[in-house]
């Protein structure tokens, strides 16, 4: 069965709900080298999401969406 599983060469992208958008972006930048590419405004004009990428041979897209109900 293992022979039929293709190798994982990275993910195209992942979006995570977060309680603290600014804190999450800062932490992922410091710890993993996440680089923001764009921000998304919410209905009230505040930043409600951010998209970026993690460095590596196969850069992975990683986005965050503000969600006050998200688990910490």
| Model pTM score | 0.77
2 against 28, higher pLDDT? 28
Domain ranges of the chain: 20-48
8 against 31, higher pLDDT? 31
Q: Which helix (H) or strand (E) holds 13?
A: strand 13-18
The model's pLDDT over 29-69, given as tens digits with 9 standing for 90+, comes to 999 999 999 999 999 999 999 999 988 777 789 999 999 88
pLDDT at 13: 80
Query: CB–CB of 66/72 below 8 Å?
Result: no
Query: CB–CB of 52/34 below 8 Å?
Result: yes
pLDDT at 70: 78
């Amino acid at each position: 069965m293992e022979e039929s599983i293709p190798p994982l060469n990275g993910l195209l992208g992942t979006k995570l709900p977060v309680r603290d958008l600014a804190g999450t972006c800062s932490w992922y930048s410091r710890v993993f080298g996440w680089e923001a590419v764009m921000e998304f405004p919410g209905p009230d004009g505040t930043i409600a999401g951010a998209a970026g990428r993690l460095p590596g041979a196969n850069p992975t897209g990683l986005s965050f969406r503000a969600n006050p109900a998200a688990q910490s």
